[in-house]
Every structure is written in structure tokens, then in C-alpha cells.
Amino acid sequence: MKQIFSKLNFFTNGEGFTNITNDLNLFIQNNGFNSGIINLTSLHTSCSLTINENADPNVLKDLKKFMKSLVPSNCYNSLSREREVIYYEHFQEGEDDMPAHIKTALTNTNLCLSFQEGEIILGTWQAIYLWEHRFSQKERSISVHIIGEKSSNIYNDK
Amino acid sequence: MKQIFSKLNFFTNGEGFTNITNDLNLFIQNNGFNSGIINLTSLHTSCSLTINENADPNVLKDLKKFMKSLVPSNCYNSLSREREVIYYEHFQEGEDDMPAHIKTALTNTNLCLSFQEGEIILGTWQAIYLWEHRFSQKERSISVHIIGEKSSNIYNDK
Amino acid sequence: MKQIFSKLNFFTNGEGFTNITNDLNLFIQNNGFNSGIINLTSLHTSCSLTINENADPNVLKDLKKFMKSLVPSNCYNSLSREREVIYYEHFQEGEDDMPAHIKTALTNTNLCLSFQEGEIILGTWQAIYLWEHRFSQKERSISVHIIGEKSSNIYNDK
């Protein structure tokens, strides 16, 4: 069992999704790993790591829209009986900052994925996305850590 | 440290929860592992893996109901001040499909669980569930990957 | 590659956040680990593990407030077109219990974090929190499991 630690950087372009599946598979292959786990941590509190559909682009559009309407800018309606309107107290870093922290809390900062024969195990319709929640262009850094085997001598149960 | 990769399939029966804790513990034991991690990835974008209460069935009922009302079919109310009604653009695969993708994004596709003496470490009231978000019966496939020790020669800090 | 299993207990003081980053780093260092993964599982169904901002305390205040208004006590408004009011069926353990189960499902029970040179890899503004969702003081137990190397002989890709 060997380890490798690195960081991968991605430029995002405002709210939305960057498919990072290929970059992760390339990282595994370029470092000669065959099987193991690739542990991912987004090093930011205003973007997420998520797995979702890779086919119809409207899925990602609807996801983004839903999240925006669930966690709006400036203020939001409570779902309590009274439906009071609540304002964010943390607004100094822009109207998209506090919603971005909440969206991060409602999704994932950390994914631990399995790979075999140099490829992350995913379903046919799945891709791994870096989900940007801020409005402007950002450079985002993902911690990438592999624990695995470089040879293929493992027992594969079918 | 040894590895094993496999897939476990489960039939779900519309929206709701399938307790997969025992199947996972049996998989660990049948493969002779004593301690390590069991890394789970749901290979679908319309069901989740979640850990929640195993006691009062009303907890799971309320969870399902809440999620259904947070991510309704066809359209939803925004929580923004204007409370506009928003329709999904991705509706071609059924009214339950886009909500299922959103519910998946709001919960988990991936769990990395620790086990010791052949059993996943959980609290007394916890169980691991496959959470189906689609309305009809489905066969779901979970990637199951163990990295661990077969003997019990590990240092156990109490 | 070596393993260690333990539990860390924390007292919480009603809804809110307990920063456990230092305790986790101390656990790694006290057990002489240099690099690997530290796998965390909250052993409860009414509190979460989350990574969020460690700077402006208003971020945590807003997070708590948002979650409280998204998953209110007693009953909630649906986001469906009809906006019906729905009551929880599981209310016997207190008005904060069912909302706590839902908040747990919407966040995380499990985090698998990478560490290097005895320290968990996080961004500058990140901390790891135990997020209490119940109203009263609780003692919470987190399963802590390390798989890693005690020496620093690993290949570090920069």
C-alpha cells in the first residue's frame, strides 16, 4: 500500500459545475496507481464536491437554480408556520458569500472514492463535479490523496 | 493491508429506505476481514446512501415526507423574498427524476465507514440506508471496497 | 500502513458548533502518525460533522439560523405549489428531535480526511465542527479511525 499527496487547481467561472472526473483519473494513472482510494477535500468553504448526472445539461442547470432558490442572496423565507423573512448577518464579503457557505454545508466538501484499474468506480451516468457557489471567477484547490496499490495483484470478487 | 472490490445489488420499492447494514457486515465477515474501512459509492444519481435512526419507523416516514416537500415534483416555490414558482427544465424522464437528482445532491452518494471485529462502527440507534428517490421499483448497485486487515493484530486504543 | 481505532467524546451546549480540529490533530500526533486518513463517524442521528468557516462567528450564526428555518420545530411549509403545512409524526422525543434527524440527513455523519506531517489537510479558512442539532446539553461520541504511516517516508508530489 502506497500513498501520494497532491493538490489540483481548477478555475471556475461563477456559479456552476466543473467536471473534474478526467483530471482525477489522469492523476491516478500518471502516478502509476492501479487500485485504492482517492480522497478529495475541497480546501474552500464556498464551493463543493458533488457527484451527479453527466448527460442532459439541464440537470445541472436545474440543480444550480434549485440551490439558488433554496439559499437566496440577502434574505430568505423561513419554512416555519410564520414564514418570517430572515436577513444574513454575515454580508461583508458580498451577497453571494453567506449563501455559498450554506450551500457548502448542504452538500459535500469531502469525497472518498474507490478506483480499480486506474479508474474511479462510477455509474454510467455519473461524473464528479467541483460545484462553485460564488458569482465571480475563482481558482479552487482540491487536496488529492491516494492510498493504494501500484500493481494489479489484488483479489477481485465478482 | 488487503483490498477487495465488489458490487452489491438491492431492489428498492419506490421512494423510501432499505436498511443495508446487515448485508454490509456480512460482506465484511464472509471475506474474512477483521478491521479497516469499507468504502461505499452508490452508482446512481437518483438514490442516496444515508445513516439515520433504526428505531421508530415514523422517523423514516417524516424524513421521506420532508424531502418530498423540500424538493417537490414539477415545480417549487423559491425561498427568496419574491417566492416565485420555478419549473424544472429536465422533465423528460418523469416528474420524479429531477427531484431525485436534487435529493441526491442534498444527501450522500459516498460513505467511508470504519469497521472493527468484522462489524461497521455505528451508534446504537444508527443504520445505513439506501435511500430511493424514484417512484417505481429499481435495482440499485452499490460499489463496495474494503481496505483492511484480515487478522486482529491491531493496536486498539480504548 | 498501521491502524488505530478510538472514540473522542465532546460536550455540546445546545444547537451550535464545536470546533474539534485541534483535538483531532492532537489525536494524530499523540499516536505518532505522520500521514494517512483519519476517518470520522458521528455515532448519533441528531448531530453532524461539517467543515466550514473558522473566521467570522456570524457565519456559524447564519448557518444555524438558516438550518433552523429550513427545518423548523413542530411543522413546516412545503415548497410545493400548494404550500401545505405538514406536521411531524415523530414528536415523542421532543420538538427538536425530528428536525435534528432531518438536519443530520441534509449534512454529514461521516468525514474521511487526509493528513500529512501530523496535521489534517484543510484550507486556511476551514475548521472541522461537531454540529449539535438538539436544544439541550449532550455528550457526543465520534468514532476516530486512522490508517496511515508513522514515519515520513512517503513520496510527496508537489
pLDDT at C153: 53
What are A141's strand-pairing partners?
A: A9
Nearest beta carbon to residue C109 from set B36, B51, B79: B51
For the cut 60, the answer to whether the pLDDT of residue B12 exceeds it is: yes
Q: Do C98 and B62 touch (CB under 8 A)?
A: yes
Q: For A127-157, how does the pLDDT look when each residue is reduced to its tens digit (9 = 90+)?
A: 999 999 999 999 999 999 999 999 775 444 5
Q: For C40-58, how does the pLDDT look when each residue is reduced to its tens digit (9 = 90+)?
A: 999 999 999 999 999 999 9
A31 interaction partners in chain C (CB closer than 8 Å): 157
- SS3 per-residue string spanning chain C: CEEEEEEEEEEEECCEEEECHHHHHHHHHHCCCCEEEEEEEECCCCEEEEEEECCCHHHHHHHHHHHHHHCCCCEEECCCCCCCEEECCCCCCCCCHHHHHHHHHHCCCEEEEEEECCEECCCCCEEEEEEECCCCEEEEEEEEEEEEECCCCCEECC
pLDDT at A153: 54
Query: Chain A residue closest to C129 (CA)?
Result: A105
Q: For B13-62, how does the pLDDT look when each residue is reduced to its tens digit (9 = 90+)?
A: 999 999 999 999 999 999 999 999 999 999 999 999 999 999 999 999 99
Query: Chain A residue closest to C1 (CA)?
Result: A1
C2 interaction partners in chain B (CB closer than 8 Å): 154-155
Nearest beta carbon to residue A112 from set B78, B81, B112: B112
Q: Which residues contact A157 (CB under 8 A, 6 or more apart)?
A: B4, B5, B6, B31
CA A16 to chain centre: 11
| A148 vs A3: CA distance, rounded Å | 7
Answer whether B115's CB lies under 8 Å from B37's CB: yes
> What is the pLDDT averaged over residues B107-131?
98
Backbone angles phi, psi at B22, to 5 degrees: -65, -40
Q: Do B45 and A147 touch (CB under 8 A)?
A: no
pLDDT at A151: 79
B121 interaction partners in chain C (CB closer than 8 Å): 5, 41, 43, 143, 145
Min CA distance, C55 vs chain B (Å)? 25
> What is the pLDDT averaged over residues C128-157?
88
Q: What ipTM was reported for this prediction?
A: 0.95
A45 interaction partners in chain C (CB closer than 8 Å): 51-53, 59, 123, 125-126
Min CA distance, A142 vs chain C (Å)? 9
Query: Chain C residue closest to A102 (CA)?
Result: C63
Residue C127 carries which side chain, given as an amino acid letter?
A
